[in-house]
Amino acid sequence: MTTPVYQNFINGHFVANQSGETFAVKNPATDAVIYHVEVADEFIQQQAIASAKQGFAIWSAMTAVERSRILLKAVTLLRERNDELAKIEVLDTGKPWQEAECVDVQTGADVIEYFAGLAPAQVGQQQMVGDDFYYTRKEPLGICAGIGAWNYPLQIACWKSGPALAAGNAFIFKPSEETPLGAIKLAEIYIEAGVPAGVFNVVQGAAEVGQWLTQSSAIDKVSFTGEVGTGKKVVASAAGSLKDVTMELGGKSPLLVFDDADISQAVSAAMLGNFYTQGEICTNCTRIYVHKNVYQQFIDELKTRTEKNIIAGDPLDAKVNFGALISKKHQQLVMSYIEKGLSEGATLLTGGKELSPDSAPHGYFVAPTVFTDCTDEMTIVKEEIFGPVMSVLVFDDEDDVIHRANDTHLGLAAGVFSKDIKRAHRVIHQLQAGICWINSYGNSPAEMPVGGYKQSGIGRENGIETLDHYTQTKSIYVGMSNIESPF
């Protein structure tokens, strides 16, 4: 059976490359090639820039209300096609249908809807300066680029393009080579909704295509989601043309469980924050610090629920709640971290092996894994694994655990479980992280800004402030009196 071949999406339609180069995309749950994609060669890259320039001229000249109406149509189409799009995400990423069906498309649509609503509310300022005055305009940046990771491909494309388009920019998006289809579907939906051709373009390929986007002097901003190491390369490359950057990078986030916490709730948060999307979520609380008075109770319940309630298997089966990792290579990387955990002396509470479920025997599964007796120096406690591997540590002093939680170069997220509201706020205010939860973990509504402290990121996505990251302020001074000149 021949598989489909998808081309790059430029100026409102699919465009063939000239090199003929393609790459294959596999379903992580079956190891089967499901389609091929043409690489964005130099011809496509030139077309993408020319298309975005044309698109920008049309789109930025429209009123914010006009843009908003069109984007809201795209939101309606996204929601109407939820199941078709969710299935694409399941096949590309290996995540369970029961997640994709209610999260991936919906949270993407929510963010476009949020920024479509905000776009017409963006206003400049006016201030008198004596008899003269100045006013400011919020103008779009021009052509923005997005580079996405593979864990939430469609959602990332929506989260980046939503505010960018609402503010009047044109966009060129490069999805991860592992998950390229969702962004193409979004491009088709934008066109169907009435977004002018050229405003949203999709270019395909691996690091070289990403590098071109970061280097191109025709591009005014790059919004990147991916690993810290790649993010540093992107910032360095973007510096060549002094592009604006937004960086959504990795984390090694702490969850602090105090002895007055609702332990069942804390276990729920720990499991969601390590096993949802089979552990491939940037904000995951992979370091769980549990107070010594409740440590045994916590790990007993965690072990029971992990072994009883997690169902790995064919991700399209609605009963399955735990999917396959993105690739064989990533599965092996996660397994190598598990081996390091064992060799450095952590106790394996549960998991620690590859899985081969009957309904998906060739998938890249790793069992939900919990290590206890972890110490701060262990590799599994220090490095982002991006898989279903939880490290549990014990503490007995508030100040000490805050210090330990902050002792990392990363600062994406953090959480606190405690019924003492004074303590919960006192502690969370001292944690060095951009996305924090109290008695909750992982929720990320469109209204709430998200982004990292320290090496976990630059700038924010979502929330009102993100529109500022996609606009620039023009100040206009207006002289009302004669100029006084010494010349």
User: What DSSP line would sit under 195-241, residue for residue?
Assistant: PPTTSEEE---SHHHHHHHHH-TT--EEEEES-HHHHHHHHHHHHTT
- Between CA 408 and CA 414 the distance in angstroms is 12
Tokens encoding 217: 């002097």
If binding is defined by CB under 6 A, does position 266 make contact with ligand NDP?
Answer: no
Q: Tell me whether residue 339 is one of the annotated catalytic residues.
A: no
User: How many residues sit in the footprint of ligand NDP (CB under 6 A)?
Assistant: 29
Residue window 364-403: x/- pattern of binding to ligand NDP, with contact defined by CB under 6 A: --------------------x-x-----------------
Give the residue with the Cβ less far from ligand NDP, 249 or 257: 249
Tokens matching residue 445: 């509504």
Q: How far is the CB of 219 from ligand NDP (least distance, A)?
A: 12
Please report where in the chains the tokens 């970061």 appear, as a residue. 214
Report the candidate in 160, 152, 167 with the shortest Cα–Cα distance to residue 56. Answer: 167
What track of x and - describes contact with ligand NDP for positions 187 through 226 (by CB under 6 A)? Answer: -------------------xx--xx--x----------xx
CB of residue 234 to ligand NDP, shortest distance in Å? 5
Residue 156 has phi, psi (to 5 degrees) of -65, -40
Residues found in the chain: 487
In 241-254, which positions are buried (b, 16+ CB within 10 angstroms) versus exposed (e)? eebbbbbbbbbbbb
Choose the catalytic residue: 282, 285, 374, 384: 282
User: Under the criterion CB under 6 A, does residue 230 sit at the interface with ligand NDP?
Assistant: yes
Whether 115 contacts 455, CB under 8 Å = no
Residues 308 and 288: their CA atoms lie apart, in Å, by 21
Please identify, using beta-carbon distances, which residue of 56 and 212 lies nearer to ligand NDP.
Answer: 212
Binding range to ligand NDP, per CB under 6 A, among 88-96, 144-152, 312-320, 392-400: 144-152
- Output 152 or 395, the one with its CB closest to ligand NDP: 152
What type of residue is 57?
A: A
* Residue closest to ligand NDP (Cβ): 210
Taking alpha carbons only, the member of 184, 175, 245, 189 closest to residue 215 is: 245
Decide: is 227 part of the binding site for ligand NDP (CB under 6 A): yes
Q: Which is nearer to ligand NDP, 240 or 479 (CB)?
A: 240
Q: In what order do the strands lie in the sheet with 244-248?
A: 13-15, 8-10, 200-202, 170-174, 143-147, 221-225, 244-248, 457-458
Contacts of 246 (CB under 8 A, 6+ apart): 221, 222, 223, 224, 451, 457, 458, 459, 460, 461, 469
Site map 152..191 versus ligand NDP, x via CB under 6 A: ----------------------x-xx--------------
Catalytic residue among 95, 138, 160, 252: 160
Asked if 102 is an active-site residue, the reply is no
When asked if residue 234 is in the footprint of ligand NDP (CB under 6 A), the reply is yes
Smallest distance from ligand NDP to CB 9, Å: 16
Query: Does 241 engage in binding with ligand NDP (CB under 6 A)?
Result: no
CB of 478 to ligand NDP, least distance (A): 42
Can residue 123 be called a binding residue for ligand NDP (CB under 6 A)? no
Q: Is 398 among the residues known to form the active site?
A: no
Q: Residue 324 and residue 314: Cα distance in Å, rounded?
A: 8
CB of 448 to ligand NDP, least distance (A): 13
Q: Of residues 287-316, which lie at the interface with ligand NDP (CB under 6 A)? A: none
Q: What is the Cα gyration radius of the chain?
A: 24
| In contact, 37 and 78? CB cutoff 8 Å | no
The verdict on 437 binding ligand NDP (CB under 6 A) reads: no
- Residue 448 Cα distances to 22, 112, 234, 442, 445, angstroms: 39, 14, 25, 12, 6
Residue 434 beta carbon to ligand NDP: minimum distance, rounded to whole angstroms: 9
Among 412, 424, 428, 431, binds ligand NDP (CB under 6 A): 412
- What is the C-alpha to C-alpha distance for residues 96 and 86, in angstroms, rounded to an integer? 10
Query: Does 282 participate in binding ligand NDP (rule CB under 6 A)?
Result: yes
By CB under 6 A, name the binding residues for ligand NDP.
147-151, 174, 176-177, 206-207, 210-211, 214, 225-227, 230, 233-234, 248-251, 282, 384, 386, 412, 452, 457
Please give the positions annotated as active site.
Answer: 160, 248, 282, 461
